[in-house]
Structure 1
Amino acid sequence: MRSPLKEYEKRKAKYNILLKKHQKYMDNLSNLRLAVFVLGLVILIRMYMVKLYFLFDSVVLVMIILFCYLAYLHKNIENKKKYIAALEEVNETSIKRLKGEWKNFQDSGEEFIDKNHNYSYDLDIFGKGSLFQWINICRTYIGRQRLKEILTEKPEDKQSINNRQCAVIELGPKIHFRQRLEAEGKIICNDKQDTKELFSWIKERNDYILEKKKVWILRVLSMVTGITSLTLIVRIIDYVIAVLLDTSRSAPKIFYIIPYYVPIFLIFIQCVILRIKREDRMKNLIIAEKYNYNIKTYRNMLKHIEKHKFKSKYIIDLCKMLCDNDAKSAYKQIDTFSKICESIVSRRNTLYPILNSILMLEYHWTISIERWKTKAGNDFEKWLSIIGELEALCSIANIKYDNPHWSMPEIITGASMITAKNMGHPLLGEKRVCNDLSVEESYQVMLITGSNMSGKSTFMRTVGINVILAYAGAPVCADQFCCTIMDLYSCMRTSDNLGQSISSFYAEILKIKNIVKASKEGKKVLFLLDEIFKGTNSRDRHTGAMILVKQLSRTGNLGFISTHDLELGEMAKDKNSKIRNYHFSEYYRDNKIYFDYKLKAGISPTRNALYLMKLAGIEIKENNEVE
């Protein structure tokens, strides 16, 4: 099996070659269009000079048809080129992700940062250098929202995790499906545009415009006006040609039967009708035009989804919901809607005011929109949620494909526990140092001591982020991983909030209060506490920490606490203690400090604060006084 990096490089090279070919096609078509125009102009001038007037109209018509056909081909190839460019970019991004250059990706999910969330801020789930920035390939607003929910909400039960695991295992090798779904999504101009307005608009109903009598009158009136106006337009064109070529009029007499004032009168009547409730119609047209590209993209994504066959029951059940509307698929329904919205965009054409006054396009578009809403509008949000779900699953499946040696975690029921073999931090790449872990029912709290920079905080973040991946249905950065479903809380990164007049110490107290409350409510709590009560004096910190550790070590909870307070380690000596001591240590060589970042049993035997002070230039005497 080819490595992920080589597969991405091969695909990027293939799409790069296709891009060059399509650019060449486009250049040739542009040259051909120019040649057709010049040649046609020369022929028309020659015909005028030799007075072949009877062929003049035919040549003009042929030129227009040929020119429009070449323009259509050019636009079609241009669209294909954009799609291929998107696929090339997808593979380039995948290569950067594997090479550790993902921290420069534009979408970091910064707007999802919530300092009050139970764990997301402490564990770098969103923002620069975050888990979201690393894995996200969602290109729709609803897909990004769904991925955010998966990473920040406790799973309902073991089955929901297993469902996602099965889907991720199937989607992992489907690189063709995942990349093309992402490429389709790249067409959206603004993937952070909230869809609430779109959903709300589609749920609105205007039964007034759908009354059969009104629809019948509007259609008959616009048809009659259109036909009579056509006779007037032909007469005008015939007159202009006759004047320019100095010939008699050649249009058939049938176009002169209807008096010229009839279509003028009908157009006047329609202009009056167009003023009735125009604001309501304009709201429909503006929103349809605003979301035109989004709807077109949703259509293409649904088409891509519907033509694939899946084996995972979870994905199969999702796809079934795309075909339960009168046996007509979601793609076909949205395709109809997309065509309506695309035609509405044409009102930006300079001829639109004239055509609208003749054909009352505003009314016909509004009728088409309202009929579509009535027929399929209730399912629209559901269809988009399926797109979002599959985008989120593909983001997680990317981890599976890019890291084939990572293991799928085992989720079990029963007492709170976590066991892991060779577990590392997924965001550290080749720099990661892996550790084994076993926290089972016999004890509930790991008290981690160690010197500064030895790896205590990183280890706890490693535990937390792998638990989040496990709950998301993703593979984890470990050879083996097993855990139960718990409510994850952390208190690792606190700061002053001047706007709310909250000090970092009080912010820490509020976080710990939430953990204690959840524990008292009988929840299975997994807590990660880094240097608790560091904002107060040493005596209060020690006393408070002892009380908190004892309180959180009750049955059902499981947690990790890092501290420099070595005296807290004495709590593990109690006969019925549910606390175990672990530590990280450093070693010295050639007057330099080194860390192995390996977890070891027992209380830390070393301290390095004074040594680090010396490295900073602070001269310390034998009795630890500062010179």
Structure 2
Amino acid sequence: MKYKLSEKRKVNMNPIQEYEKQKGIANAKANYFDKRVKIFSFLRFIVIGILVFIIYKNDVFSTPTFIIAFFITILVFGILVKIFNYNKFYRNLNRIKVKINEREIDFLDKGEMPFKDGKPFINIQHAFSFDLDLFGRQSLYQHLNRTQSYIGEYILHESLIQNNNKNEILKRQEAINELSLKLEWRQNFSAFSELQEDSKSNYIFLKQWALNAKANIPKHIYLMAFIFPVIFMLAFVANIYFSLGLGSMVTLLFIVNLSILGSQLKLIQSEIDKSTKLNKILDNYSILMQEVENHDWQSETLKELKNSLSLNTSEASQSIKYLSRLFGNMDTINNAVGAALMNGTILYHIHLLKKLLDWKRENGKHILKWINVIGEIESLICYANFKFNNSNYTFPSISSDNNYVFKNIGHPLIDSRQRVCSDVDFTSHPFVILTGSNMSGKSTFLRSIGVNIVLANAGSVVCADEAMIGLNKLQVSMRSTDSLADNESYFFAEVKRLQSIMNVAKSEACFVLLDEILRGTNSDDKRNGTIKFIEKIIGLKAKGVIATHDLEVCKTTEQYPDYLINNCFEVDIINDELYFDYKLRPGICQNQSASFLMEKNGII
């Protein structure tokens, strides 16, 4: 039976040239806005000078003229501040876009990776992530990562380790392909995201804050928050205009209002504690949400993400922007003088607290979902960027029979100028016994298969000319570690991993990658254990590859000729030098390199 493989798209595009072009555009815009920032900064200084002059010469003007001139100057100053902030924002935004393009150019040209490496996500107990170097320095995660928010980092990590069904993979492929064609939109989104300076602590605070919706202002306090400010204002106005001698009463009401605030101060602090800069972060989230809401998406996944930002009466971006203003205004309570004046007169922060709690009751259940949308978009952008940078990679097709076929598969983290690719097909022989001398490329080949399966499962393009994957659960044993803390030897750690793989294979279809198992025992024991493990794992219909140096293990293919096949990486000795071509070949490895190297280096 023939299976249709994905087809590689031939794209004549140099990503570095495109990044250079975008860098030039962003740099020109940054310079334009920078000039305007300097102009409006100077104009603000002039207006301040005029204001000082008007105040200094107020005796020259009649009172109405002075008041009009004063307020017009204040109004002009406010307008200039707004224009200044607008230009400063877009200057900074375009400077970030310049940096984004510079990072991509340096990444492609020099291999520099100034991106977060996902080290906190390293889990040595995971079924495959530790063995395949998915997280940590020079990892696949660092290679992909272009996220700026904490939730984006987390969702990108999840996308590399979760299992997706066929429909989910195809939907993600469609979304990633659509985003890969929208370079300017992606870079705008990433630049907005980089402006917000998000952190894990802010996300945790928002999560805890949103889930705690029980807090409320007592009804009698809220009633007093209306009555006493009204009485205060009436007494204040009456005392000023009618000289009724109510000064003591006004002072007492001022103190009463502050006492009412004091009774709710603990509640206020619990609502805004650890919310430093949160209003700015939320404001940027609202911009990011608006970017998603305002775009006309074609792929199903991106449409679903956009729709999840919709409410009955408004968009999520508007609601988050309103929350941003509430947090920003609540933060003024830390200004002792201003807070005393605002609350001693009108109990400003009590009314503000009521609005904040009302928002939480109405929208708190949505906020994490909305922020997760931003994380999902950031994660998809990472894969879209990966596709854009590697236009010769391909989207794999999904096999209905869980078959795996790769044409010219390579490891995406190896420089394309040094990468050697091979063909491998698991259709007729589902399990490969792989031999080869040290340094011949066995482990790299295993990781090439594993990493590309991970990418394919995430909906990404893979490093191959053509590819087809199944949906078997990936299980890998390539790098077991001992543990002094758990009093666990290397050998026992490996046995536990093999036991875990076997347990999974008993209940689910698996794709297994094994590299020289049972290293911690003698040769005969290792050989017997390896052969028995192979027999049992193929009895459970697992697919995959096992690499070994023991040529006796290769004879197992004679007993299972319809299921097992021998492949190898060969080494040649040319002019007294080792030569590796790193190409996968049929059969069993014939040449060994260890004795040759030891003799050449005078060891034996």
TM over 0.5: yes
Matches within 5 A, 1:13-162: 13-46=24-57, 48=59, 55-103=65-113, 105-155=114-164, 157-162=165-170
The counterpart of 1:584, out of the listed 554, 569, 576, is: 569
Q: Deviations over 1:51-102 (max 9, x none)?
A: 8677545444444333333233222222222222222222222223322524
Residues in 2 aligned to 1:477 and 1:226: alpha-carbon distance in whole angstroms: 72
Q: What is the aligned partner in structure 2 of residue 243 from structure 1?
A: none
Q: What is the aligned partner in structure 1 of residue 4 from structure 2?
A: none
Residues in 1 aligned to 2:467 and 2:457: alpha-carbon distance in whole angstroms: 12
Matches within 5 A, 1:173-572: 173-193=181-201, 195-206=203-214, 208-209=216-217, 211=219, 214-225=221-232, 254=241, 259-289=246-276, 291-323=278-310, 325-349=311-335, 350-414=337-401, 416-430=402-416, 431-440=418-427, 442-521=428-507, 523-572=508-557
Q: Which amino acid aligns with 1:494?
A: S
Cα RMSD, aligned residues only: 2.4
**1:200 Cα deviation (Å)?**
2.5
Distance 1:279 1:214, change over 3 A: closer
Residues in 2 aligned to 1:291 and 1:360: alpha-carbon distance in whole angstroms: 23
Partner SS state of residue 446, structure 1: strand
Matches within 5 A, 1:610-621: 610-615=595-600, 617-620=601-604
Q: Does 1:172 align with 2:180?
A: yes
Query: Could you tell me whether the CA contact under 8 Å between 1:447 and 1:561 is conserved in 2?
Result: yes
Q: Deviations over 1:380-411 (max 9, x none)?
A: 12212222222211111112222222111011
Q: Which amino acid aligns with 2:296?
A: K
Q: Deviations over 1:494-544 (max 9, x none)?
A: 2222122222222111111111111222x1111111111111111211111
Q: What is the aligned partner in structure 2 of residue 244 from structure 1?
A: none
Q: Deviations over 1:342-395 (max 9, x none)?
A: 212333445233323322222112101111112222221221222222221111
Query: Could you tell me whether the CA contact under 8 Å between 2:149 and 2:197 is conserved in 1?
Result: no
Q: Deviations over 1:435-463 (max 9, x none)?
A: 111012x4332111111101000000000
Query: Could you tell me whether the CA contact under 8 Å between 2:257 and 2:344 is conserved in 1?
Result: yes
**1:106 Cα deviation (Å)?**
3.7
Distance 1:220 1:75, change over 3 A: farther
Q: Which amino acid aligns with 1:331?
A: S
Query: Could you tell me whether the CA contact under 8 Å between 1:198 and 1:287 is conserved in 2?
Result: no
Residues in 1 aligned to 2:406 and 2:537: alpha-carbon distance in whole angstroms: 22
Q: What is the aligned partner in structure 1 of residue 8 from structure 2?
A: none
Q: Which amino acid aligns with 2:153?
A: R
Partner SS state of residue 195, structure 2: coil
Partner SS state of residue 580, structure 1: strand
Residue-pair matches, total? 591
Distance 1:360 1:137, change over 3 A: same
Q: Deviations over 1:307-337 (max 9, x none)?
A: 00111122212222221x3232111211221
Of 540-549 and 197-206, deviating more is 197-206
Of 65-74 and 20-29, deviating more is 65-74
Partner SS state of residue 585, structure 1: strand
Of 70-79 and 393-402, deviating more is 70-79
Query: Could you tell me whether the CA contact under 8 Å between 1:584 and 1:604 is conserved in 2?
Result: yes
Partner SS state of residue 144, structure 1: helix
Partner SS state of residue 606, structure 1: coil
Query: Could you tell me whether the CA contact under 8 Å between 1:167 and 1:314 is conserved in 2?
Result: yes
Q: What is the aligned partner in structure 2 of residue 247 from structure 1?
A: none
Query: Could you tell me whether the CA contact under 8 Å between 1:288 and 1:344 is conserved in 2?
Result: no
Residues in 2 aligned to 1:360 and 1:43: alpha-carbon distance in whole angstroms: 34
Partner SS state of residue 432, structure 2: strand
Between the two structures, name the one with larger relative contact order (CA 8 Å, sep ≥ 6): 2
Partner SS state of residue 186, structure 1: helix
Task: Answer with 1 or 2: which has the greater Rg.
Answer: 1
The counterpart of 2:588, out of the listed 592, 597, 603, is: 603
Residues in 1 aligned to 2:66 and 2:530: alpha-carbon distance in whole angstroms: 96
Q: Which amino acid aligns with 1:97?
A: F
**1:278 Cα deviation (Å)?**
2.1
Q: Deviations over 1:545-573 (max 9, x none)?
A: 11111111225201111111112111112
Partner SS state of residue 28, structure 1: helix
The TM-score, its normalising length taken from structure 1, stands at 0.89
Query: Could you tell me whether the CA contact under 8 Å between 1:86 and 1:183 is conserved in 2?
Result: yes
Partner SS state of residue 34, structure 2: helix
Distance 1:223 1:448, change over 3 A: farther
Residues in 2 aligned to 1:194 and 1:526: alpha-carbon distance in whole angstroms: 39
Q: Which amino acid aligns with 2:535?
A: K
The runs of 5 or more residues in structure 2 that have no matched partner are: 1-11
**1:41 Cα deviation (Å)?**
3.2
Residues in 1 aligned to 2:436 and 2:242: alpha-carbon distance in whole angstroms: 96
Q: What is the aligned partner in structure 2 of residue 240 from structure 1?
A: none
Residues in 2 aligned to 1:580 and 1:573: alpha-carbon distance in whole angstroms: 9
Of 286-295 and 418-427, deviating more is 286-295
Query: Could you tell me whether the CA contact under 8 Å between 1:210 and 1:371 is conserved in 2?
Result: no
The TM-score, its normalising length taken from structure 2, stands at 0.92
Partner SS state of residue 506, structure 1: helix
Residues in 1 aligned to 2:316 and 2:25: alpha-carbon distance in whole angstroms: 32
**1:255 Cα deviation (Å)?**
7.6
The runs of 5 or more residues in structure 1 that have no matched partner are: 233-252, 621-627
Query: Could you tell me whether the CA contact under 8 Å between 1:285 and 1:366 is conserved in 2?
Result: no
Of 313-322 and 525-534, deviating more is 313-322
Partner SS state of residue 572, structure 2: strand
Residues in 1 aligned to 2:41 and 2:538: alpha-carbon distance in whole angstroms: 75
Query: Could you tell me whether the CA contact under 8 Å between 1:187 and 1:293 is conserved in 2?
Result: no
Residues in 2 aligned to 1:366 and 1:356: alpha-carbon distance in whole angstroms: 12
Q: Deviations over 1:423-446 (max 9, x none)?
A: 111111222111111012x43321
Q: Which amino acid aligns with 2:137?
A: K
Q: Deviations over 1:584-618 (max 9, x none)?
A: 11223343222111000111010000222234x33
